[in-house]
Structure 1
Amino acid sequence: MSHDVRTALKLAAEIDQPAFITLLDDAPDGSDGPLSGIPFAVKDNIDIAGVPTTAACPDRTEPAARTAFAVERLRAAGAVPIGKTNLDQFATGLVGTRSPYGACHSVASAAHVSGGSSSGSAVAVALGVVPFALGTDTAGSGRVPAAFNGLVGVKPTRGLVSTRGVLPACPSLDCVTTLTRAVSDARPVLAALTCHDPADPYSRPMPPRLPHGVAARMRVVAIPDRPLDLDPAYETAWAAAVDRLKLVAHVVPVDVEPFLAAARLLYGSALVAERLAAFGDQLDGPGVDPTVRQIVLAGNGFPAAEVFAAHRELARLRSIAERTFVGADALLLPVTPGHPTLADVAADPVGANARLGVFTNMVNLFDLCAVAVPAGEADGLPFGVQLIAPAFADAPLLDLAARWTGEAEPPIVERCLLAVAGAHLTGQPANADLVRLGGTLHSRARTAAGYRMYTVDGPFPRPGLVAGDGPGGFEVEVWDLPAAAVGGLLPGIAPPLHLGPLGLDDGTTVLGFVADTGCADPTREISRHGGWRAYLADRA
């Protein structure tokens, strides 16, 4: 990504679409970091301190008191926000036309919608104003405009990117998303955004290892086992996309009806009441879009019991849909069944919009991650597909998306488990070496029987585990490290310690810090303490 802030601001002021609601002419210089100096745009339902978060509603004029956590993460990485972008009001829409600030259109056709609700963010990236932009995606609001403008739209696992400082649409489903031209541009942005935020009740940390059943390299992709309800041009483009998929993955047909049924629940059941609870109190002002008001106030018509009935039906559908990912790594679907014109949406604002969500609405309901990627053209307009996978499969899904787009994939990093018992324990002086080398804590454990612990000489106080006839049961931590990084530890391991097999109390054997039998000096045995921390505590 190469672009400077001054150029981005100039381009933003010159484009002939209402992509921006506010430009930040006093954008500060970027700090040092992996995104240093790179300008980006922010969807105007995400806070920047001192600027009103309009959510495309001009009644909202109060400047935000604080900057959203996600924007702060990008600033800390060196990126510079240059403006707030247009959207379907209150992030309720997939068309990009529900805004008093004007309707955006696809960069490929002034007659066709841009897609929403992250319309301005998509247009800003597609027109080359900024290398990346933030959107949100509750029901497809990042993926649909990506598809209609030939972009990559990354919808991460729910909670992976904090939504603190994002005006809620459906708080339990909302996701901050990225829009870029390439997968390689999305990687460093998502890496900067990914951070557990304890102040966000919906935030979740990325597990240190891939979840059970998620492959590090995705090679099997599911597709629908029957024709989809697509516009004629989209049928042709979809068939070509399936053929293209067969060049990069094994293809298995699956029944996608549980996915489609769940998608219908989002607005066709009491689940719509979550939007009413999130911002229903803001729908009385003169600047509110009448279609948005109509959709959200429909939540008043559902008794509370129907909310629970909808969640019960959603759980049933999810339990069926999850079987897809037993025999496949990911699911490929079109992003939308067609590309409506501005006139189509004006003639049927609710129906035209609803049809755009039939393949996207269920992704957050089922707690899945997704990446929208370009897949050629349909009637001369950009056509996009989406790759969908289980929660926290974001990294291998991005690799699959890169393979789809013909970009280079990063090599798979081989990992190994290393047990530490002394100076490398959390809080001890050498623990920073493990972190520096990319290590993460895998588990806390105890050694198997047959070991004794002794103090050993060296550059700092440390213990040695010696195999023999000892009681075992000593406290250890097992760390997950890139296999290549283990070599980086070797220069700092002073004799008599070395790396060797170490048995654990669960019957497994891992690499660990051990000492030779020559260290078994009875005057230096500390086995009775049960571990290095306990020994240090007793000495203190």
Structure 2
Amino acid sequence: MTAGVLGNIAAQPQRSPTERVAAAYRRIAEVDRQEVWITLREEGDVAADAAAVEQRLAEGAALPLAGILVAVKDNIDVAGLPTTAACPEFAYPATVTAAAVQRLVAAGAIVLGKTNLDQFATGLVGTRSPYGAVRNAHYPELISGGSSSGSAVAVALGIADIGIGTDTAGSGRVPAALHGIVGIKATLGVIPAHGVIPACADYDAVTVFATDLDQAVVAAAVMAGPEVRDPRSRSWPADVHLAAPQQLRLAVPRAEDLAALSEPYRDAFARTVVAVTDSGVATHEVDISALLDAARLLYDGAIVAERYAAVGEFLDTAPAGADPTVTAIIDAARATTGPGFADDLDTLARVRAATTALLAGFHGLLLPTTTEHPSIAAVQADPLVINRRLGTYTNFCNLLDMAAVAVPGLPTAAGLPFGVMVVVPAFADQVAIDIAARIVGADPPPALVDDGTELAVFGAHLRGQPLHWQLEEIGARFAGEITTTAAYRLTALDTTPPKPGLVRHGDGLGAPILGELFRVSAAGLGRFLAALPAPMALTSIELSDGRSVIGFACTYDAAEAATDITSFGGWKAYLQHQN
């Protein structure tokens, strides 16, 4: 890891799964935060799972999350545990584990238990639960943020390695900001919502919290992928970008669009933007008022009808454990109409189109995650207005089919955590992660999207060379330096711009040639091939490590007419000699 705009990411010490479980339960006893959990599993049962993971490792299983401890929001099913959605009367015994959680377990993760939340995932405060208001991990008089409050606090307290939450209006991002941790809200449907009690089914996302970006991305990558049991799940498209370019250009809101921020947060955001800009990222102010207007539709428009469709009939039975604020919000959906819902959908379609135009030429939108850090007492005194304000910059994201990565920004002058989000269009998740990695100092940035094909380049498309922009344009991801076998010769072609030609002559008839390997999407590779000028071609290239990859070569006749530069061992060495 290297230092980024805002510091370093620390690596976690290596411990066995059994040791991690024992440490977690010691930490649970130490902090004594009973309100974090609705169902905490017995230590012996969790230790048995850890022993099973160790056995799998001993048998040679590849487990990317071996021994990682997971806290699961209690609106997500885990077989053998009750699901309550923070309403005792709603509880039922789950018999099937949600697809996203099952994927974590299959990768070696271990579930500690089910965490508290704003009831029915309705809220951004963490106080709307009969199981108790979830206090901030570090400042108990302040809110934790919701609705995924318990999962975030379990991570921030050092109990769980990752917390699984949901995010309809910002619940996977606001708690991250208030604790100085990472929250990833992927494109809708990329992580399946099977086994999740819906809040607004069309706009719900399963999210992940972690103390560092690398851990969060590994978990998100394990959970991602289509799921037949979720009709809204989605696959990465054929033209998905696998990396952000080196030269970044970010949109930031105008001063007038930041009016909702408290003064400490306005100052922290300004300083964070300066730090990002000073790191070499270009920033430019844009008008985001249309996005902020769209955000209000989630609670103040007819879209709230989806919340009633999810649990409205149950709340009509007036269960004793129902939170009155949650009930009032969902009950308000009774006033919605079909034409009103259609009007809201039309509005969102228009704002989505306008947002595409607004962000053209930018790689992402940098926003404050939330507006302030209120006390529990303040929220209890004013449960609706403060909650609504907290979602100012998060509510529009799912409505407009955007992805977001929340990371710590520079703290407030008083030292409280402050968070920022990188917001991008649907399926640009990897671009957002790469930008976030630049901010927090994760180098190399972790990979969420592992789709694509390896492409070897040896000349003008190398990093720092005149045609490298063509790879960046299709979102190619650098995968390392490579060397061919000794079967290749390299020539300097007479082209504009200058480029080499690689030709296979047979084992022992050439020399190892240095190049670079990139991963590109299927559609990106197709675009590349379609635009390839003569005498260049794509063919199978044999590497010194035994692999064969697609790579650049040239026709034999063009190489015969060119200057042989094989002795230099690579294009960059030849250019240095020329200079």
Distance 1:123 1:105 in 2: 8
Amino acid at match of 2:296: R
Amino acid at match of 2:203: L
Give the 5 Å matches for 1:517-528.
none
Counterpart of 1:395 in 2: which secondary structure?
helix
Aligned residue for 1:155?
185
Is contact 2:305-2:336 (8 Å) kept?
yes
Distance 1:480 1:94 in 2: 53
Distance 2:519 2:251 in 1: 33
Distance 2:247 2:358 in 1: 14
CA 1:88–1:217 in structure 2 vs 1: closer, same or farther (change >3 Å)? farther
CA offsets 1:227-263 (integer angstroms, 9 cap, x no match): 3111111121111111112033110111110110111
Aligned residue for 1:107?
137
Is contact 1:161-1:175 (8 Å) kept?
yes
Is 1:73 the counterpart of 2:103? The answer is yes
Distance 2:236 2:308 in 1: 30
Aligned residue for 2:455?
416
Distance 1:219 1:438 in 2: 20
State the shift of 1:12 in Å. 2.6
Distance 2:539 2:306 in 1: 40
Query: Structure 2 residue aligned with 1:173, among 182, 190, 203?
Result: 203
Aligned residue for 2:476?
none
Distance 1:268 1:486 in 2: 61
Is contact 2:239-2:521 (8 Å) kept?
no
Aligned residue for 2:399?
365
State the shift of 1:181 in Å. 0.8
CA 1:218–1:286 in structure 2 vs 1: closer, same or farther (change >3 Å)? farther
Query: Structure 1 residue aligned with 2:305, among 273, 295, 305?
Result: 273
Is contact 1:417-1:479 (8 Å) kept?
no
Unaligned residue ranges in structure 2 (runs of 5+)? 1-11, 458-517, 530-536, 556-579
Distance 2:152 2:191 in 1: 19
Aligned residue for 2:23?
7
Is 1:222 the counterpart of 2:251? The answer is yes
Counterpart of 2:295 in 1: which secondary structure?
helix
Counterpart of 1:326 in 2: which secondary structure?
coil
State the shift of 1:151 in Å. 0.6
Query: Structure 1 residue aligned with 2:338, among 287, 300, 304?
Result: 304
CA offsets 1:315-360 (integer angstroms, 9 cap, x no match): 1222112223212100011111111111111111111111101100
Counterpart of 1:373 in 2: which secondary structure?
strand
Give the 5 Å matches for 1:444-455.
none
CA offsets 1:270-295 (integer angstroms, 9 cap, x no match): 01111001111221311110100000
Counterpart of 1:78 in 2: which secondary structure?
coil
Aligned residue for 2:40?
23
User: Please, what is the CA RMSD of the aligned residues?
Assistant: 3.0
CA offsets 1:162-212 (integer angstroms, 9 cap, x no match): 110011111111111110111111121111111111221010011244259
Is contact 1:217-1:396 (8 Å) kept?
no
Query: Structure 2 residue aligned with 1:343, among 377, 384, 398?
Result: 377
Is 1:295 the counterpart of 2:329? The answer is yes
State the shift of 1:10 in Å. 3.2
Is contact 2:168-2:199 (8 Å) kept?
yes
Is 1:328 the counterpart of 2:362? The answer is yes
Q: How many equivalent pairs are there?
A: 446
Aligned residue for 2:278?
247
Aligned residue for 2:574?
none
Aligned residue for 2:292?
260
State the shift of 1:216 in Å. 4.7
Is 1:383 the counterpart of 2:400? The answer is no
Is 1:355 the counterpart of 2:385? The answer is no
Query: Structure 2 residue aligned with 1:186, among 216, 232, 237?
Result: 216
State the shift of 1:146 in Å. 0.3
Give the 5 Å matches for 1:393-408.
393-408=428-443
Aligned residue for 2:262?
231
Distance 2:89 2:294 in 1: 34
Is contact 2:453-2:522 (8 Å) kept?
no
CA 1:499–1:443 in structure 2 vs 1: closer, same or farther (change >3 Å)? closer
Query: Structure 2 residue aligned with 1:313, among 339, 347, 356?
Result: 347
CA 1:209–1:169 in structure 2 vs 1: closer, same or farther (change >3 Å)? same
Unaligned residue ranges in structure 1 (runs of 5+)? 419-436, 449-477, 503-540
CA offsets 1:490-532 (integer angstroms, 9 cap, x no match): 49x9xxxx99679xxxxxxxxxxxxxxxxxxxxxxxxxxxxxx
CA 1:484–1:166 in structure 2 vs 1: closer, same or farther (change >3 Å)? farther
Aligned residue for 2:153?
123
State the shift of 1:62 in Å. 1.9
State the shift of 1:489 in Å. 4.2
Is 1:92 the counterpart of 2:122? The answer is yes
Distance 2:166 2:240 in 1: 25
Distance 2:191 2:224 in 1: 5
Distance 1:362 1:20 in 2: 29
Amino acid at match of 1:158: L
CA 1:405–1:348 in structure 2 vs 1: closer, same or farther (change >3 Å)? same
Is contact 1:439-1:480 (8 Å) kept?
no
Amino acid at match of 1:149: H
State the shift of 1:61 in Å. 3.1
State the shift of 1:479 in Å. 11
Aligned residue for 2:569?
none
Aligned residue for 1:514?
none
State the shift of 1:13 in Å. 4.1
Distance 1:411 1:83 in 2: 27
Is contact 2:137-2:144 (8 Å) kept?
yes
Is contact 2:455-2:520 (8 Å) kept?
no
Is contact 1:109-1:381 (8 Å) kept?
no
CA 1:218–1:120 in structure 2 vs 1: closer, same or farther (change >3 Å)? farther
Aligned residue for 2:164?
134
Amino acid at match of 2:128: R
Distance 1:263 1:206 in 2: 26
State the shift of 1:443 in Å. 10
Counterpart of 2:92 in 1: which secondary structure?
coil
State the shift of 1:366 in Å. 0.8
Aligned-residue sequence identity (percent) comes to 44
Distance 1:485 1:183 in 2: 32
Relative to the length of structure 2, the TM-score reads 0.72
Is contact 1:414-1:484 (8 Å) kept?
no
Distance 2:220 2:206 in 1: 10
Amino acid at match of 2:305: A
CA 1:395–1:444 in structure 2 vs 1: closer, same or farther (change >3 Å)? closer
Which shifted more, 30-39 or 8-17? 8-17
Counterpart of 1:154 in 2: which secondary structure?
strand
Is contact 1:88-1:99 (8 Å) kept?
yes
Which shifted more, 310-319 or 114-123? 310-319
Distance 2:544 2:295 in 1: 46
Counterpart of 2:135 in 1: which secondary structure?
coil
State the shift of 1:14 in Å. 3.8
